[in-house]
């Protein structure tokens, strides 16, 4: 029987046997479907990419209001659409490095203030025009000019001037930034012809797939770009993104074989799905975190003793167990974790300590009136449950926490960044500098904890210009400790990205930098 099996797996590896045949023959040998499925997957993986087929993603986060304009993409479906037709200067690799895409090389001046991106030759837009340094500069202009509505506006702010020189696109920064390539990998910054000034939502870029059908809120069809420059990517002929916002419907579509990949699997069903013979749950520890945020400048949270009391009063392990069902890790009241390069893992973990919480609460001199925590399930999946757990553990420490359930509709405009204490989430950023600059710098637009500290800002700028990695790491460690001990962030947990795929999907890579292989599922996966 072993010989037969070896022969069959070889046939699969050399592409002579389909999944259906393989499953049929192994069943005849009395092998269970689950075992045969994983044998098939291993054999097919070893064979290397297979070309052709239609790869289908069932995705949350789409609506009939969606547009293909990269500037306004904010939820999952627009994000995945961008990665079909567009390409950025560079990508962040699954391990957190930088990989050149439209840029062929990236060079910094010694002070990290001037950056030169050499544009790759032979890269073509879908309209047949070659990608030039001029197109790159126009793209950056569109995302940084005064009329921009771009989600990337914040990260473009450190740019002093931009120019082109032949094939080179040159950026001059106001202050040194050793992490500029990471900023250029932002998904909003897809290179478009003439920067997308004329028709940003046309879906024309230099990516591996070209627009075939655009039905916002329903589905998006993409077909292979025959002139794509990189033949190691983009294996399937067609990519279909089906909008399925309802979690149960999304899982049913995956189980009944109507889509190959379903994103945003709820932790409570992930274990069950993984037991199904033809499905695989793919989870990756990421930089995303579920949080409770306090405004450091608003009473009663302007009192650091009270903030510490609340930080000690949360049971992090319990939350990871009960809200994330183990698909995540414990947070330490700072926005970074091991998913970041230069993370200092020697910073001690803050435990759940009711006695200490009570002590700090007493020291804070709070009058004993209930502290209101605003929460809604749109803040993060399971936010209500998490808040209730928090309420219980805080009450055990003698801190009267009161929950106010807010409507999901309008939560991001009326509650988050507006009310002094609420539940929220952060998707994380590729590097620590960007995470801190986005939400902890005194002048940051999204400083949702109102953490305004000059000494912290100074450390941030020093680290940004520091090219010596050891020194940078020490600076980031210092900053992390400041946020942990004095900031307004209560971070009980980091959530994994959880997706599920059918066993036909091969070439999956664990990528901790973003949702669904950081958007690159269609670039790297193929269908067995």
Partner 1 sequence: MHPVVKLVSQRLALGLILLIAASVLIFVGTLILPGDVAQSILGQSATPEALANLREELGLNEPAVLRYFDWLFGALQGDLGTALTNGQDIATSIGRRLGNTLFLAFWAAVISVPLAIFLGLLAVRYRDRWPDKLISAVTLASISIPEFLIGYLLIYFVAVQLGWFSSVAMINDSMSLLEKLNAIALPVAVLTLVVLAHMMRMTRAAILNVMQSAYIETAELKGLSTFKVIARHAFPNAIAPIVNVVMLNLAYLVVGVVVIEVVFVYPGMGQYLVDHVSKRDVPVVQACGLIFAAVYIVLNMIADIVAILSNPRLRHPK
Contacting residue, 36, 66, 98, 108, with partner 1 by CB under 8 A: 66
Nearer to partner 1 by Cβ, of 27 and 418: the residue is: 418
Task: Answer yes or no whether residue 442 interacts with partner 1 by CB under 8 A.
Answer: no
Nearer to partner 1 by Cβ, of 53 and 300: the residue is: 53
In the complex, minimum distance from the CB of residue 271 to partner 1, in angstroms, rounded to a whole number = 17
401-405 and 371-375 strand pairing: parallel
In the complex, minimum distance from the CB of residue 395 to partner 1, in angstroms, rounded to a whole number = 30
Strand extents, DSSP E, 192-237: 209-215, 219-224
What is the rounded CA–CA span in Å between residue 308 and residue 300?
Answer: 12
What is the rounded CA–CA span in Å between residue 98 and residue 81?
Answer: 22
In the complex, minimum distance from the CB of residue 430 to partner 1, in angstroms, rounded to a whole number = 16
Of 189-197, 257-265, 313-321, 357-365, the window that binds partner 1 (rule: CB under 8 A) is 257-265
Of 39-47, 213-221, 351-359, 478-486, the window that binds partner 1 (rule: CB under 8 A) is 213-221
φ, ψ (nearest 5 deg) of residue 220: -135, 125
What x-and-dash track marks residues 219-238 binding partner 1 by CB under 8 A? x-------------------
Give first-to-last CA distance, the chain, whole Å. 24
**Residues of the chain by 3-state class (helix, strand, coil), percent to 5:** 35, 20, 45
What is the rounded CA–CA span in Å between residue 230 and residue 125?
Answer: 13
φ, ψ (nearest 5 deg) of residue 502: -75, 160
Strand partners, 170: 116, 163
Residues near partner 1 (CB under 8 A), total: 48
> Binders of partner 1 among 314-373, rule CB under 8 A?
none
Task: Answer yes or no whether residue 277 interacts with partner 1 by CB under 8 A.
Answer: no
Identify the three-state secondary structure at position 280.
Answer: strand
Task: Answer yes or no whether residue 130 interacts with partner 1 by CB under 8 A.
Answer: no
What is the rounded CA–CA span in Å between residue 296 and residue 293?
Answer: 9
Residues near 66 by beta carbon (within 8 Å), at least 6 away in sequence: 75, 77, 78, 81, 216, 217
Task: Answer yes or no whether residue 414 interacts with partner 1 by CB under 8 A.
Answer: yes
> Binders of partner 1 among 185-204, rule CB under 8 A?
201
Contacting residue, 3, 146, 198, 345, with partner 1 by CB under 8 A: 146
Task: Answer yes or no whether residue 72 interacts with partner 1 by CB under 8 A.
Answer: yes
Residue 428 and residue 511 in contact, taking contact as beta carbons nearer than 8 Å: no
Of 130-138, 210-218, 339-347, 353-361, the window that binds partner 1 (rule: CB under 8 A) is 210-218
Of 184, 179, 180, 185, whose CA–CA distance to 94 is shortest?
185
Chain centroid to CA 100: 19
Nearer to partner 1 by Cβ, of 65 and 392: the residue is: 65
In the complex, minimum distance from the CB of residue 217 to partner 1, in angstroms, rounded to a whole number = 6
Label residue 14 exposed, middle or buried (CB < 10 Å: 0-12, 13-18, 19+): exposed
Contacting residue, 4, 14, 65, 127, with partner 1 by CB under 8 A: 65
Task: Answer yes or no whether residue 218 interacts with partner 1 by CB under 8 A.
Answer: yes
Task: Answer yes or no whether residue 252 interacts with partner 1 by CB under 8 A.
Answer: yes
Residues at the interface with partner 1 (CB under 8 A): 58, 63-67, 69, 72, 74-75, 146-151, 153-154, 201, 213, 215-219, 242-246, 248-249, 252-253, 255-259, 407, 409-410, 412-414, 416, 445-446
């Amino acid at each position: 029987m072993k010989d037969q099996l070896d022969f069959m797996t070889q046939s699969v590896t050399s592409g002579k046997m389909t999944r259906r045949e393989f499953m049929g023959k192994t069943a005849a040998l009395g092998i269970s479907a689950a075992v045969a499925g994983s044998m098939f997957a291993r054999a097919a993986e070893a064979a290397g990419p297979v070309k052709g087929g239609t790869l289908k993603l069932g995705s949350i986060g789409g609506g009939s209001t969606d547009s293909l304009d990269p500037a306004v993409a904010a939820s999952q479906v627009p994000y995945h659409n961008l990665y079909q037709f567009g390409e950025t200067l560079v990508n962040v690799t699954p391990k957190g490095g930088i990989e050149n895409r439209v840029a062929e090389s990236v060079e910094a001046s010694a002070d990290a203030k001037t950056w030169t991106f050499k544009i790759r030759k032979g890269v073509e837009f879908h309209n047949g025009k070659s990608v030039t340094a001029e197109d790159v500069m126009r793209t950056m202009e569109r995302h940084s000019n005064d009329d921009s509505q771009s989600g990337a506006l914040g990260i473009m702010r450190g740019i002093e001037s931009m120019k082109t020189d032949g094939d080179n696109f040159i950026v001059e920064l106001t202050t040194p930034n050793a992490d500029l390539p990471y900023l250029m990998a932002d998904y909003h910054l897809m290179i478009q012809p003439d920067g997308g000034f004329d028709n940003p939502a046309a879906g024309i870029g230099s990516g591996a797939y070209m627009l075939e059908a655009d039905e916002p809120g329903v589905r998006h069809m993409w077909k292979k770009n025959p002139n794509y420059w990189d033949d190691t990517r983009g294996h399937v002929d067609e990519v279909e993104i089906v909008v399925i916002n309802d979690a149960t419907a999304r899982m049913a579509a995956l189980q009944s074989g109507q889509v190959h990949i379903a994103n945003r699997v709820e932790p409570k069903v992930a274990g069950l799905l993984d037991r199904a013979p033809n499905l695989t749950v793919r989870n990756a520890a990421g930089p995303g975190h579920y949080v409770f945020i306090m405004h450091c400048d608003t009473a009663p949270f302007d009192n650091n003793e009270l903030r510490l009391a609340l930080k000690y009063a949360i049971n992090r392990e319990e939350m990871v167990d009960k809200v994330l069902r183990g698909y995540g890790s414990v947070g330490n009241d700072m926005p970074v974790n091991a998913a970041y390069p230069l993370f200092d893992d020697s910073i001690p973990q803050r435990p759940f300590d009711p006695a200490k919480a009570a002590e700090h609460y007493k020291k804070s001199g709070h009058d004993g009136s209930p502290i209101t925590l605003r929460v809604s399930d749109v803040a993060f999946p399971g936010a209500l449950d998490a808040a209730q757990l928090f309420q219980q553990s805080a009450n055990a420490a003698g801190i009267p926490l009161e929950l106010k359930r807010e409507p999901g509709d309008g939560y991001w405009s009326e509650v988050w960044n507006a009310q002094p204490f609420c539940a929220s989430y952060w998707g994380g950023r590729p590097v620590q500098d960007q995470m801190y600059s986005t939400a902890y710098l005194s002048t940051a637009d999204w400083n949702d904890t109102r953490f305004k500290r000059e000494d912290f800002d100074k450390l941030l700028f020093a680290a940004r210009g520091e090219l010596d990695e050891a020194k940078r790491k020490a600076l980031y460690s210092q900053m992390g400790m400041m946020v942990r001990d004095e900031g307004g962030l209560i971070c009980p947990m980091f959530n994994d990205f959880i997706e599920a795929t059918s066993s036909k999907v091969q070439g999956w890579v664990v990528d901790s930098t973003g949702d669904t292989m950081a958007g690159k599922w269609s670039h790297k996966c193929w269908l067995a």
